[in-house]
Amino acid sequence: MAIDARHVSKSFANYVALRDVDLHVEEGQLVALLGPSGSGKTTLLRIIAGLDGPDPNPDTAVIVDGQDILDRRPSERRVGFVFQHYALFRHMTVFENIAFGLRVRPRKLRPSEPEIRRRVDELLELTQLGRWRFHYPSQLSGGQRQRVALARALAIEPSVLLLDEPFGALDAKVRQELRRWLRALHAKIPVTSVLVTHDQEEALEVADRIVIMNQGRIEQTGTPDEVFHNPASEFVVTFLGHVNLFHGRHGANGQAARVFVRPHELDIERVPTSSESVFASVLRIQSAGPLVRVELATEQNDPITVEMTHDRHRDLTLKAGDRVYVKVRDVRVFVAAN
């Protein structure tokens, strides 16, 4: 079920969370809303869920599967929601938590107990929680609890799945595992999903498409590849990954411009091979990691970081204090005018 949110605005007492935002999610896609705190991503998610209401506006609409659900209460929207801190029902077992959405249905729509049991077992199987079915949330680890939360949300067969920083409260390692697991789950059950996160690595790894938000606006929408390599604005390029800032001149009038280059798009050479190579001296070399990072100081710009493979580093035999030249390897560079 595709999601179409149009002209959504939301202001709170002392700040504006969303400014006339349009969001479109294709059916079956997993979209990440990525941005810093205060960008409005959680607010947008909650408005889709019905937990908050947008500012009243005749043009505002939230259309899911062809129907405007804006006037429906949260309990009527059939939206699956996973909270950052799980929000599991403490006094119920894992089984009862997952069964909850099915058991509270009005009599006419409620499946029989055996049917409920079957469905819950299926989900327990899917989330590998079978042996915990009669345990209480307090007896589970954080990662397990979040899987219960997910199973619980999926039990009601939602048209849309919304996840609010689902892995934010977990350790780094558990986070990674669950990311991969979520990706696999989505492949098996392709519910239209929207994931809110401030972790760019997470968004780049998990999502089909990424929506980058900042201060209540959408900065760019695209695949992880597009967004990383073809950033549409200064915000996007500085938000994703490391970036170096050069000051240069642009165009016929020599307008002052800010040039952003990623560390792996730069190379170091002992002898300048182009007129645009920048003279620099090596400050620090960090070789513990998949790539070698070299920090250099320059005259006119801020310190820059260059990333290179270990092989290249060996060829160059750099050490701190060396005077070298920094060259832009790729001409695909983003220029922003002041």
Q: How far is the CB of 49 from another protein (least distance, A)?
A: 6
Dig out the tokens for 300 from the structure. Answer: 């006119």
- Choosing from 119, 145, 175, 262, the residue that interacts with another protein (CB under 8 A) is 145
Residue 328 in the binding site for another protein (CB under 8 A) = no
Give CA 116 to chain center in angstroms.
Answer: 34
Q: What three-state secondary structure class fits 101?
A: helix
Residue 91 in the binding site for another protein (CB under 8 A) = yes
Q: How far is the CB of 82 from another protein (least distance, A)?
A: 9
Residue 136 in the binding site for another protein (CB under 8 A) = yes
Point out which span in 71-79, 119-127, 234-242, 294-302 binds another protein (CB under 8 A).
71-79
Kindly state the number of chain residues that form the binding site for another protein, as judged by CB under 8 A.
37
Output the furthest CA–CA distance in the chain (Å, rounded): 80
Residue 87 in the binding site for another protein (CB under 8 A) = yes
Neighbours of 311 (CB within 10 A): 9
Show the CA angle centred on residue 184, arms to residues 180 and 188, nearest 5°.
Answer: 165
- Choosing from 35, 40, 54, 101, the residue that interacts with another protein (CB under 8 A) is 101
Q: How far is the CB of 315 from another protein (least distance, A)?
A: 48
Residue 116 in the binding site for another protein (CB under 8 A) = no
Residue 78 in the binding site for another protein (CB under 8 A) = yes
Q: Tell me the residue ranges of DSSP E strands in the chain.
A: 3-11, 16-25, 30-34, 61-64, 67-68, 79-82, 160-164, 192-197, 209-214, 217-222, 244-250, 255-261, 266-269, 278-286, 292-298, 304-308, 323-328, 334-337
Residue 286 in the binding site for another protein (CB under 8 A) = no
- Choosing from 104, 256, 297, 320, the residue that interacts with another protein (CB under 8 A) is 104
Residue 72 in the binding site for another protein (CB under 8 A) = no
Q: How far is the CB of 110 from another protein (least distance, A)?
A: 10
DSSP state of 185: H
Residue numbers 197-226 binding another protein by CB under 8 A: none
- CB-wise, 75 or 287, nearer to another protein? 75
- CB-wise, 74 or 241, nearer to another protein? 74
Nearest C-alpha neighbor of 20 from the set 223, 213, 164 = 213
Please report where in the chains the tokens 């049991």 appear, as a residue: 117
Residue 74 in the binding site for another protein (CB under 8 A) = yes
Q: How far is the CB of 123 from another protein (least distance, A)?
A: 13
- Choosing from 41, 119, 152, 179, the residue that interacts with another protein (CB under 8 A) is 152
Query: How is 208-259 classified by DSSP, letter by letter?
Result: SEEEEEETTEEEEEE-HHHHHHS--SHHHHHHSS--EEEEEEETTTTEEEEE
Point out which span in 72-80, 220-228, 309-317, 330-338 binds another protein (CB under 8 A).
72-80
Task: Report how far apart, in Å, the C-alpha atoms of 267 and of each of 285, 306, 313 are.
Answer: 14, 7, 10
Cβ-contact 94, 137 below 8 angstroms = yes
Residues at the site binding another protein, with contacts judged by CB under 8 A? 49-53, 73-81, 83, 85-92, 100-101, 104-105, 136-138, 142, 145, 152-153, 155-156, 169
